[in-house]
């Protein structure tokens, strides 16, 4: 029992306090986490460190996002590896940890015959210093639910109730498992605004999502998970900058000599005429490259029409890293 709790993971916060004055203790530390269901390995030696702020966990279906988060929430015991949340073991120190953490499950979690306000008030009663329930109901637009029981609420209302239940206890850390899946744009925005306010007030958030724009909008840090491992982690800007290639497009006279253009470009670029008169350059697009392309056009008497530079989005990075084929 006690042997595995004395690991570097549980001690490193003290070291990091010594080494960096600005760095505080990570809110989540996952080291070499392995979790199997029968013969299937859901999480395969996963390492993840989440600092205070908003961390988005991105990944295709079946990548191991929910398993990882639910291990942090104390629902699953690691087969091996260590997990620390706010410095605590989520399974063995569950009683100490639970009041400090808010949990939004992917679905369900409410009595089918309970009303939204009734359930939220109940969860509030389990905490010592809950938020003002009426204000939270108002803020998340749950006031219109009235006497409707949970099973008759719309999917969006059910999601927002689950979100409210996760934050009502004034936790230090909130886990949101796909908080905006299936929400309409207004509800999605309301959720984003709440996450931003939580962050501004010093609450850390770990959220899983399929939506790249959600991660780009909200997250300080993004971890991309695939096949049970973290394959990339960094701020949205870092991830979009690093590795990913950008695209420059322009239209001009059909039949220009793309190989001649290619000769003018740096070695790692590609150039092609996609459809007659429509050209694409792929490579590290910087001011120099843009200048090279326009001067090549000038030399060849071409007016580059509709010239555009496409910055890579997180979605491109995501697809590059995880592949484009559909996951079963």
Partner 1 sequence: MTATTSTTTTTGRYAPKPGAAPLSRMIAAQAVLETKMLLRNGEQLLLTVVIPTLLLVLFSSVDIVDTGAGKAVDFLAPGILALAVMSTAFTGQAIATGFERRYGVLKRLASSPLPRWGLMTAKTASVLVTEILQVILLTVIAFALGWSPHGNPAAVLLLLVLGTAAFSGLGLLMAGTLKAEATLAAANLVFLLLLVGGGVIVPLDKFPSGAQDVLGLLPVSALSDGLRDVLQHGAGTPWGDLGILAVWAVAGLAAAGTFFRWE
Which of residues 99 and 234 has its CB atom nearest to partner 1 in the complex?
A: 99
The residues, ordered by sequence, that sit 6+ positions from 2 with a Cβ below 8 Å of its Cβ are none
Q: Report the distance separating Cα 228 and Cα 279, nearest Å.
A: 39
By the rule CB under 8 A, 49 interacts with partner 1: no
Which of residues 74 and 252 has its CB atom nearest to partner 1 in the complex?
A: 74
Q: Report the distance separating Cα 107 and Cα 110, nearest Å.
A: 9
By the rule CB under 8 A, 101 interacts with partner 1: yes
Binding mask 215-254 for partner 1 (x = CB under 8 A): ----------------------------------------
Q: How far is the CB of 119 from partner 1 (least distance, A)?
A: 8
Task: Show the 3-state SS of 39-85.
Answer: CEEEEEEEEEEECCCEEEEECCCCCCHHHHHHHHCCCCCCCEEEEEE
Which of residues 48 and 72 has its CB atom nearest to partner 1 in the complex?
A: 72
Window contacting partner 1 (CB under 8 A); options: 196-204, 224-232, 305-313, 314-322: 196-204
Q: Report the distance separating Cα 174 and Cα 163, nearest Å.
A: 9
By the rule CB under 8 A, 197 interacts with partner 1: yes
Q: Report the distance separating Cα 137 and Cα 123, nearest Å.
A: 13
By the rule CB under 8 A, 202 interacts with partner 1: yes
Phi, psi of 132 (to 5 degrees): -65, 115
Among positions 5, 77, 134, 257, the unique one binding partner 1 when judged by CB under 8 A: 134
By the rule CB under 8 A, 265 interacts with partner 1: no
Among positions 113, 235, 270, 288, the unique one binding partner 1 when judged by CB under 8 A: 113
Q: Beta-strand (E) ranges in 252-304? A: 270-275, 278-283
Q: Report the distance separating Cα 208 and Cα 63, nearest Å.
A: 11
By the rule CB under 8 A, 210 interacts with partner 1: no
Residues in the interface with partner 1 (CB under 8 A) total 43
Q: Which helix (H) or strand (E) holds 327?
A: none
Nearest CA-CA partner of 63 in 224, 234, 236: 224
Q: Report the distance separating Cα 30 and Cα 213, nearest Å.
A: 25
Q: Are 58 and 209 in contact (CB under 8 A)?
A: yes
Residue 313 carries which DSSP code?
P
Binding mask 61-100 for partner 1 (x = CB under 8 A): ------------xxx-------------------x--xxx
Q: Report the distance separating Cα 233 and Cα 222, nearest Å.
A: 5
Which of residues 73 and 226 has its CB atom nearest to partner 1 in the complex?
A: 73
Q: Report the distance separating Cα 63 and Cα 229, nearest Å.
A: 8
Q: How far is the CB of 195 from partner 1 (least distance, A)?
A: 10
**Binding to partner 1 in span 138-157, by CB under 8 A:** none
Rg, C-alpha atoms of the chain:
24
By the rule CB under 8 A, 274 interacts with partner 1: no
**Binding to partner 1 in span 287-306, by CB under 8 A:** none
Which of residues 75 and 302 has its CB atom nearest to partner 1 in the complex?
A: 75
Which of residues 202 and 287 has its CB atom nearest to partner 1 in the complex?
A: 202
By the rule CB under 8 A, 122 interacts with partner 1: yes
Window contacting partner 1 (CB under 8 A); options: 15-23, 108-116, 182-190, 312-320: 108-116
Query: Which residues make up the interface to partner 1 (CB under 8 A)?
Result: 73-75, 95, 98-101, 103, 105, 107-114, 118, 122-123, 125-129, 131-132, 134-135, 165, 167, 169-172, 193, 197-198, 200-203
């Amino acid at each position: 029992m006690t042997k595995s709790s004395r690991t570097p993971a549980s001690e490193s916060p003290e070291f990091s306090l010594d080494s960096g004055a600005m760095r505080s203790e990570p809110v989540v530390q996952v080291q070499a986490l392995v979790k199997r269901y029968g013969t299937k390995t859901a999480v395969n030696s996963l390492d993840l460190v989440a600092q205070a702020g908003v961390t988005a966990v991105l990944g295709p279906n079946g990548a191991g996002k929910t398993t990882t988060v639910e291990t942090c929430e104390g629902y699953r015991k690691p087969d091996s590896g260590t997990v620390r949340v706010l410095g605590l073991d989520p399974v063995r120190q569950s009683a100490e940890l639970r009041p400090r953490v808010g949990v939004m499950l992917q679905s369900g979690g409410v009595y089918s015959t309970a009303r939204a306000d009734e359930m939220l008030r109940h969860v509030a009663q389990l905490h010592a210093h809950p938020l003002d329930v009426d204000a939270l109901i108002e803020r998340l637009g749950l006031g219109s639910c009235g006497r409707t029981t949970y099973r008759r609420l719309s999917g969006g209302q059910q999601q927002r109730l689950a979100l409210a239940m996760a934050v009502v206890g004034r936790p230090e850390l909130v886990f949101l498992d796909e908080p905006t899946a299936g929400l309409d744009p207004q509800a999605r925005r309301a959720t984003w605004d709440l996450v931003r306010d939580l962050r501004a007030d010093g609450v850390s958030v770990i959220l899983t999502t399929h939506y790249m724009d959600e991660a780009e909008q909200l997250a300080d840090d993004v971890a991309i998970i695939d096949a049970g491992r973290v394959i990339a982690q960094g701020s949205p800007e870092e991830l979009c900058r690093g590795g990913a290639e950008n695209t420059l497009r322009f239209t001009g006279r059909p039949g220009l000599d793309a190989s001649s253009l290619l000769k003018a470009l740096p070695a790692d670029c590609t150039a092609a005429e996609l459809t007659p008169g429509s050209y694409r350059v792929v490579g590290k697009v910087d001011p120099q490259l843009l200048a090279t392309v326009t001067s090549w056009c000038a030399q060849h008497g071409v007016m580059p029409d509709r010239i555009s530079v496409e910055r890579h989005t997180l979605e491109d990075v995501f697809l590059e890293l995880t592949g484009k084929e559909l996951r079963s």
